[in-house]
Amino acid sequence: MSDIVLSGNYIDRHSLLRVNPEALEEARADPATRFVAIWQSQCLVMETRIALLTHANIVAYKQYLPDSTLLGKLDDRNVFALALDTEDEPDFGADSQFVSLRKISSLLDAADAGLAAFAKAMVAWQYNHQHCGVCGSQNLMSEAGFVMACKDPVCGHRSFPRLDPAVIVLVHNKDRALLGRQSDWPERRFSTIAGFVEPGESLEDAIRREVEEETNIKVGDATYCASQPWPFPAALMIGFHAQGQSEDIRLNDSELIEARWVSREEIISGDIFLPTRFSIAYHLVSTWFDQYDGPSLEALNLQQPPFHSPGSTDSSK
């Protein structure tokens, strides 16, 4: 099974601490506590590890401490996300720098990538919920960063971390897979079909609609395969395999510039480029491909030019 980056239950989220203000303050002040710094949606990295800063490291940024977000317990130490909103890039020494998660995620080990994705997603959500969506008053951070609560006691509206569910699906018909290409992707680069779930839809409904909108192909039963957090800014990619029930491809919307039934032979020949190994799209392709006799997709060691999106749903860095 290939790895799916940005996911993994590597940290004990320690969620009871969120609702215990005294213990939370003690945890923030504890010398053993470490901080993951986020600035302009980027994560502080030392070489290829997420920098875990000490109290001494963050002494110049103490004012951000009360609004740090509890990520959980890692190796018996509490870890908080520290959101820095300075104009200039904060300086934590020459051996560290702020890097976009999109650039670094495939270089990080799985635990670090998951931690960075979690921290980035929380900080981005808080930044986008500084005001109450009901009355427009200022929101105040509560429950260690997991609630943004309206300052107006009459309103009292509470917002919770937002996730945007998106389906991503490998449609197959025997030994062929339905793959598509967006206009801004490199020539010959193909991936699985993806799209956001809309209100009033089940995941299966969204699969049927997205595949038909994008390719005119009708799909039958869908089988859940795996999922991937995709915090650009808040998607959760929910991956399926589905049986194609029709053959004729027609591009019904402008999402794809090209869609094809791609045979296993075409994949083996290297004529098309697949998504990056760490993406859920690759995982969906490989779990279908590897059902058949012959070398696994991983063993083919196909060329993979740089590519970032696991689907068609990301819109920010």
Residues lying near Zn ion in the complex (CB under 5 A) are found at: 132, 134-135, 137, 150, 152, 155, 157
* CA gap 128, 315 in Å, rounded: 15
* CA gap 198, 72 in Å, rounded: 32
Q: Which is closer to Zn ion, CB of 155 or CB of 300?
A: 155
* Torsion 117-122-123-127 (CA) sign: positive
Q: Which is closer to Zn ion, CB of 48 or CB of 138?
A: 138
* CA gap 159, 143 in Å, rounded: 11
- Minimum Å gap between C-beta 139 and Zn ion is 8
Q: Are 71 and 118 in contact (CB under 8 A)?
A: yes
Q: Which is closer to Zn ion, CB of 52 or CB of 132?
A: 132
Q: Which is closer to Zn ion, CB of 129 or CB of 172?
A: 129
* CA gap 115, 71 in Å, rounded: 8
Rg of the chain in Å (alpha carbons)? 22
- Minimum Å gap between C-beta 144 and Zn ion is 21
Q: Which is closer to Zn ion, CB of 113 or CB of 149?
A: 149
Q: What is the dihedral of CA 129, 131, 132, 138, to 10 degrees?
A: 130
- Minimum Å gap between C-beta 249 and Zn ion is 48
Opening angle at CA 288, ends 285 and 291, nearest 5: 140
* CA gap 251, 234 in Å, rounded: 27
